[in-house]
Structures are given as C-alpha cells and as structure tokens.
Amino acid sequence: MRQPLVAGNWKMNGSKASAETLLAGIKEGMGGISKTEVLVCPPFPYLGLAVSALAGSRVAVGAQNACTEAGGAFTGEVSAAMVKDVGCIYVILGHSERRQYYGETDEIIAKKYAQALAAGLTPILCVGETLAERERGETQSVVARHLDGVMETAGIEAIARGVIAYEPVWAIGTGMTATPEQAQEVHAFLRQRVAAKSAEVAAGVRILYGGSMKPDNALELMSQADIDGGLIGGASLKASDFLAICRA
Ligand code: PGA
C-alpha cells in the first residue's frame, strides 16, 4: 500500500515573515490528517526556519533543487548534503522550470539524483511534456525519456528510493489541470515502464500529479489508481488550500 504524499513547492515566493505565517498555519491545521505524508519545500534561505518551525509536527521539509556535485568550488550552489544537514529529507529535482530556464538536461538531473541519494535524501523526480509535445503525440516518449534519464543511469534501485512527479508543463500555474483520465493514463504508463524493470519497485513507487491541483480537483485526481498524491505550487502558498488538498 502506497502512502499518499502531498508536497508543497513554494518556488521563489514569500519572505521570512510570510514563510513563518504559512508554516504556523500548516502546523496548526494538521489535525485529522493522519494517512497522508505532508511535505513543504520552501526556498533555500527558509529551509532551516521551516525545519525549526515544524519540529514536533508530522510535516517534513524538502528543498527545490540541489547541486550535481558533492562540494567544493561551485560558487552559488547548494549541495544535497547541506540540504540534508539542515534537516530536510526530500529534494525536488528536474522541475520543468529548472529544465526550461536553467538548461537542466536529463544528464544533469541524473547527477543531481545520484548526489541526493548519496546524501540520504529522497529525490522527487519531475517529468512532463509541454503543450506542443502533447499536441504532437509525444507525451509518452517525453516522460519516458525523463524517467529513463535516471532509471538507465542510476538503476532501478535508485527509482525505488525516490518519488516520481508527473507534471504536464501546460498545466503548471495555468489553471489548466489535466483531467483525471489524462493524468491517470500517463501515471499508468510511467508505472508500467518501471514495471518492465521491476514489478516490485513499480508497485511501491509513488507517482504524484502536479499542475494546477487545487482543493476542488484534488479528490478526483487522487482517486485515480496510479495517482499517489500531489506536487502543489500555487495552492501550497495558502495554508487552508494546502491543508484541504492534504485532506483530500
Ligand atoms: P501549480 O505548480 O500547482 O502552481 O500548477 C505545480 C508545480 O510546478 O510543482
């Protein structure tokens, strides 16, 4: 049985003050949420703050990125070991905004994934097609390439130790959610692709959906057989919305 995971991706939003308010709101509102694992991923400068604010709660903290290298002369970078050291247990990798704006390739993401595992973090590997790719009928080949980027280099064991997030790029921050059927189709495809290497890993790996998930569509999406939770952007910035999704 896969435990649902709802993760909030705050992206580059907020301030120290708004982070404190949001964290307090989430911590206070966790009553009644027992089956779902809850995670928040604030920007780097607020990770330590989040770990302290959420101490003693059931809410975990993760980062939104980490470096391809273990440490040393890489000005401006943050290592997976540092993320782990301040108390995080997860790291989001390969988000489409990283792929699109920072030129992250499957090769770069595979390196980051390996570093995350070496540091003892659980990577959340984001995969997803653009609208143009979907319209060209390339959805499956694109998500397969994103998944294989890690699965072929780091191996099926690495997939077993992580989480996958299907995020259609056209649904991110647009209010245009994939229908539950559209999402389920891709989730099932991803699980089958993992199953081709190991049925056991496929049965256990969690596949989250991300892309305009909101309190009013979360239940329907998460009711799908292969959707094991959500990676939430916009709606994770409001405690009541985020908690409503966790309850769904
Ligand atoms: P959204 O973002 O929920 O604002 O669409 C999701 C994400 O980018 O992780």
Give the closest residue (by CA) to ligand 1 atom 9.
233
Query: Is-catalytic flag, 167?
Result: yes
Distance in angstroms (rounded) separating the CA atoms of residues 190 and 139:
11
Backbone angles phi, psi at 90, to 5 degrees: -125, 160
Query: Is-catalytic flag, 157?
Result: no
Tokens of 223: 């009711």
pLDDT score at 175: 87
Backbone angles phi, psi at 199, to 5 degrees: -65, -35
Query: How would you classify the pairing of strands 122-127 and 90-93?
Result: parallel
Contact 143, 187 (CB under 8 A): no
Helices 180-195 and 215-222, packing angle to 10 deg: 40
Query: How would you classify the pairing of strands 163-166 and 229-232?
Result: unpaired
pLDDT score at 12: 98
Closest CA to 36 of 237, 183, 177, 219: 219
pLDDT score at 189: 98
Q: Is the shortest distance between the CB of 211 and ligand 1 below 6 Å? A: yes
**Secondary-structure percent of the chain, ordered helix, strand, coil, rounded to 5:** 50, 15, 35
Burial-class residue 135 by CB neighbours within 10 Å (0-12, 13-18, 19+): exposed
Backbone angles phi, psi at 154, to 5 degrees: -95, -15
Backbone angles phi, psi at 207, to 5 degrees: -120, 115
Averages of pLDDT over each 10 residues, the chain, 248 residues: 96 98 98 95 98 97 98 98 98 98 98 98 98 97 98 97 98 92 98 98 98 97 98 98 97
Q: Is the shortest distance between the CB of 9 and ligand 1 below 6 Å? A: yes
Dihedral sign for Cα 13, 172, 175, 50, please.
negative
Distance in angstroms (rounded) separating the CA atoms of residues 78 and 36:
29
The model's pTM is 0.98
CA distances from 30 to 27, 57, 91, 123 (A): 6, 8, 22, 24
pLDDT score at 1: 82
Which residue of 39, 212, 216, 236 sits with most ligand 1 atoms within 8 Å of its CB, as the best mutation to test the pocket? Answer: 212
